Homo-oligomer: A and B are copies of this chain.
């Protein structure tokens, strides 16, 4: 059992100078910072402050600021993957293979857009690094199924190919097309002019974009 007690500020009052679960607490703090201010706001000192611990205590658990940021980024990517998978799980399997494949791509896009809108700070953090997302097999960045967002997109396109909805010559590089369109809109929706738009209108625009991708691919 934890010997720690929450104080009014939400930080911990420790009976001992031993925290108990500092790595986790720092990660949580880093996630909170990313939520509020994006990747640039993730700082070791701020995280230790929030955890109620000396600044240098962070170095028992993270090698550097970059290391913490990476962990937060992994979390953000896994959350995104989970939202996409939730959307995929809602699909009606009792439709034709072709329809199901098409709906799968839409579900990936819709989950992506929903996440970006609901978690702008985390969304930006997820894509703040130039490290390619697609080459990553780190399970920490994956959702329930163990796949990361890019792999989920690839899977959806593969199913469209298999269902004969996507011509084989169009398959290579199709990720870039779909990802570009959805990612661009996700930025508008997370940050930009579309963030404060009424839900219905924003969703309609999202659906139109997904129409465009489906028809244009």
Give me the interface of A with B, judged by CB distance under 8 Å. 40, 130, 132, 134, 173, 176-177, 179-188, 191-194, 205, 208-209, 211-217
Contact = CB atoms under 8 A, between A and B. Distances in A.
Nearest to A210: B216
Contact of A180 (B132, B134, B181): B181
A8 to B, nearest CB: 33
A214 to B, nearest CB: 7
A40 B183 CA distance: 22
A154 to B, nearest CB: 14
Contacts of A181: 177, 180-181, 184, 209, 212
A177 B187 CA distance: 12
User: Is chain A's interface secondary structure helix, strand, loop, or mixed overall?
Assistant: helix
A102 to B, nearest CB: 13
Contacts of A216: 211-217
Contacts of A214: 216
**Which has the most chain B C-beta neighbours within 10 Å: A132, A186, A187, A216?**
A216
A177 B134 contact: no
A134 B193 contact: yes
Contacts of A132: 192-193
24 contacts: A40-B40, A130-B192, A134-B193, A173-B205, A173-B208, A176-B188, A176-B205, A176-B209, A177-B212, A179-B184, A179-B188, A180-B181, A180-B182, A180-B184, A183-B184, A184-B184, A184-B186, A184-B187, A187-B187, A211-B216, A212-B212, A213-B216, A214-B216, A215-B215
Contacts of A180: 181-182, 184-185, 187-188, 209
B40 A191 contact: no
A127 to B, nearest CB: 8
A194 B212 contact: no
